Structure 1
Amino acid sequence: MEKLNPDTLTHTVTSLISQIVVVPASPLAFISGQVALNEKGELIGEGDYGRQAKQVFTNLQLALEAIATGPENMVQMKIHVVNHTPDLVESIFKAGFEVFGDRWPLTASTFIGVQALAFKEWLIEVDAIVCISK
């Protein structure tokens, strides 16, 4: 098993998690929940669901690049949203399309409203499972 913490993603929480886990005997990689922290660990878009979503999807794209794959190889994505209401869906998906464009990951997906994430400033977290077989 290979555990990766690429330089393009924050190292703020990597003493507690691995950003990506690749299982060599399997064609799957598991990407930890990405939040709106840039590579320096700075929160992007405090209080703004759309801006945080864009950073979250950017981080997801960076994680995919770190394992030399793209969104078309995602098999599952879970989107966790603090205090979710239906009116948030449009801005969150708009942010995803800004990052991925026509490469939006068509996956088995779950959109989950949650009470809170690990830190009160975090509004959105997305994790994914990716098929990395050639």
Structure 2
Amino acid sequence: MSEFKMEHKNPEGLFVSKAFSQAITVSGKAKTIYIGGQNATNSKGELIGAGDLELQTKQALNNIATILASENASFANLVKLNIYLLSGCDPRIGYKAFQEVAGLLENPPLVTVLFVSEFARPACLLEIDGIAVIEDKD
């Protein structure tokens, strides 16, 4: 039996969403994966989808999937996502792209969406960072 437990919680009195959880607890022997801000840059340093939020979201999520896979994790292991969108961008476009890349998660992560005035790389429309947890096998 595993000592690792991750529970997604939506306490009574709070909205229950298919897009995000209200709280997540992690207990037991766990390894935490901190994911640095990912934008739409590919492995060659090229920006994918200039001016296209859907394509940029998919590339950023593919980058996150690569990081997760390198630790034997998946989107199901995400605990928290911070999504930074350029002011004026429609978050519904990003949500649709998330569903296409990650699928509809039975237990979605905590999500915070913030609008910003600009990014270090001017053509970027978004940046996503996050936290995931997996069972620590060591």
TM over 0.5: yes
Gaps of 5+ in 1: 1-24
Moved over 4 A (4+): none
Counterpart in 1 of 2:25? Answer: none
Output the CA distance in 1 between the equivalents of 2:107 and 2:61: 11
Report the equivalent of 1:130.
132
Higher relative contact order (CA 8 A, sep 6+): 2
- Determine what percentage of the aligned residue pairs are the same residue: 31
The structure in which a higher percent of residues are helix is: 1
Which has the higher Rg, Structure 1 or Structure 2? 2
Report how far residue 104 of structure 1 moved: 7.5
Q: Write out per-residue CA displacement over residues 39-78 of structure 1, whole angstroms, 9 at most, x where no aligned residue.
A: 1111100011111111111111111111110111111100
**Greater shift after overlay, 97-106 or 123-132?**
97-106
TM-score (norm 2): 0.72
Answering whether residue 43 of structure 2 is matched by residue 39 of structure 1, we say: yes
Deviation at 1:84, TM superposition (A): 3.7
TM-score normalised by L of structure 1? 0.74
Does residue 64 (structure 1) correspond to residue 82 (structure 2)? The answer is no
Q: Which has the higher strand share?
A: 2
Gaps of 5+ in 2: 1-28
| Counterpart check, 1:101 vs 2:103 | yes
Look up the equivalent residue of 2:72 and give its one-letter code: A
How many residues in Structure 1 have an aligned counterpart in Structure 2? 108
Whole-angstrom distance in 2 between the partners of 1:95 and 1:122: 16
